């Protein structure tokens, strides 16, 4: 009997410790639960960096039933994550989950809804990682204290067109060996109605990340002094 109770508690604790992207905000305006988002079937992380689930989470290769948000380039987009489909005040992404927060964009050849995000199409526009080594303050701590939210300004030089926005939170509490790092991924569909004419650098997701990357297989509990997130530098436009 006790064994069963402990087993249940343990599995509940594990499930509780995961999270999903649930809202985006456009210039400070909440767009509503799950709107414009490719919603995965549950809050489990992706751990295989060679899987197509790394692109836009499980079942994320198309967004046929997902609407696309129209915005001009230069907008401030906020992503909001929670453990459960609610804003209850619980730790939004669970305090034990420490690691970087990154945002990528990929331009669709036609519509965002039909775009699978495969190939060298992703440009990194935001990355925040280990903010203070001595206090072990990570970008994820800021997300937790900010109601599950982090923001990015869509670079004004991006060409007009339909895009996937991909935000990623990598939890590194079990990443001493590979697979171990937990990739939490959310993709939003947007249409940039006016922009610029930049041709920014691009990577593949999956493809560029390797299990051996120092930002993916890393012990964060051994006096880590600096951290290099996977996927290369940020393009700021
Ligand atoms: C983006 O919006 C968020 C939420 O409204 C705000 O906290 C943040 O300061 C804004 N960032 C910029 C660069 O304007
Ligand atoms: Cu978790």
Ligand 1 center to residue 119 CA distance, Å? 31
Taking CA atoms only, the protein residue closest to ligand 1 atom 1 is 76
Tally of CA atoms within 13 A in the half-sphere of 187 that contains its CB:
31
| Number of structural domains in the chain | 1
Answer whether residue 123 is part of any domain: yes
pTM: 0.93
Confirm or reject: Cβ of 76 under 6 Å from ligand 1: yes
Answer whether residue 214 is part of any domain: no
Average pLDDT over residues 110-118: 98
User: 15-19, 76-80, 82-86: which has the minimum mean pLDDT?
Assistant: 15-19
Answer whether residue 40 is part of any domain: yes
Q: What's residue 88's pLDDT? A: 83
Percentage of residues in the chain having pLDDT higher than 90: 87
pLDDT interval class at 60 (50, 70, 90): very high
Ligand 1 center to residue 133 CA distance, Å? 25
Q: What's residue 90's pLDDT? A: 84
Q: What's residue 17's pLDDT? A: 79
Q: What's residue 10's pLDDT? A: 42
Ligand 1 center to residue 166 CA distance, Å? 18
Answer whether residue 171 is part of any domain: yes
Residue 8, pLDDT > 50, answer no
Q: Which residues contact 58 (CB under 8 A, 6 or more apart)?
A: 40, 41, 42, 44, 46
Using DSSP, state whether 10 is helix, strand or coil. Answer: helix
Percentage of residues in the chain having pLDDT higher than 70: 93
Q: Are residues 138 and 169 in contact, defined by beta-carbon separation less than 8 angstroms?
A: no
Tens-digit pLDDT profile for residues 215-234: 999 999 999 999 999 999 99
Provide DSSP, 129-163: -EEETTTTEEHHHHHHHTTTEEEEEPPTTSPSEEE
Residue 7, pLDDT > 50, answer no
Give the domain extent around 177.
20-204
Give the distance from CA 138 to its chain's centroid: 15
Answer whether residue 233 is part of any domain: no
Residue 71's domain is classified under what CATH number? 2.70.50.70
Taking CA atoms only, the protein residue closest to ligand 1 atom 12 is 76
Q: What's residue 19's pLDDT? A: 96
Residue 15, pLDDT > 70, answer no
User: 4-18, 32-46, 58-72, 142-156: which has the minimum mean pLDDT?
Assistant: 4-18
Average pLDDT over residues 58-77: 97
Q: What's residue 89's pLDDT? A: 78
Answer whether residue 140 is part of any domain: yes
Rounded to whole angstroms, the Cα distance separating 37 from 224 reads 34
Answer whether residue 221 is part of any domain: no
Average pLDDT over residues 94-121: 97
Confirm or reject: Cβ of 151 under 6 Å from ligand 1: yes
Q: What's residue 67's pLDDT? A: 98
């Amino acid at each position: 009997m006790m064994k069963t109770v402990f087993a249940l508690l343990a599995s509940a604790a594990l499930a509780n410790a995961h999270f999903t992207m649930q809202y985006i905000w456009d210039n400070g305006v909440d767009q509503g639960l799950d709107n414009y988002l490719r919603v995965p079937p549950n809050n489990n992380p992706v751990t295989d960096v060679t899987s197509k689930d790394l692109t836009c989470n499980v079942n994320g290769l198309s967004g046929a039933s997902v609407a696309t948000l129209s915005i001009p380039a230069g907008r401030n987009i906020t992503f909001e994550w929670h453990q459960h489909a609610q804003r209850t005040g619980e730790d939004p992404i669970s305090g034990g989950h420490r690691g970087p927060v990154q945002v990528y964009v990929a331009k669709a050849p036609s519509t965002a809804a039909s775009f699978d995000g495969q190939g060298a199409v992703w440009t990194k526009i935001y990355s925040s990682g280990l903010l203070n080594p001595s206090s072990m303050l990570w970008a994820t701590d800021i997300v937790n204290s900010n109601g599950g939210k982090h923001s990015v300004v869509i670079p004004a030089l991006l060409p007009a067109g339909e895009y996937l926005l991909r935000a990623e939170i990598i939890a590194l509490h079990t990443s001493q060996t590979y697979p171990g790092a937990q990739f939490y991924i959310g993709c939003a569909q947007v249409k940039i109605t006016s922009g610029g004419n930049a041709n920014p650098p691009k990577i593949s997701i999956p493809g560029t990340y390797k299990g051996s990357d120092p930002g993916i297989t890393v012990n964060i509990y051994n006096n880590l002094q600096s951290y290099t997130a996977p996927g290369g530098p940020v393009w700021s436009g």
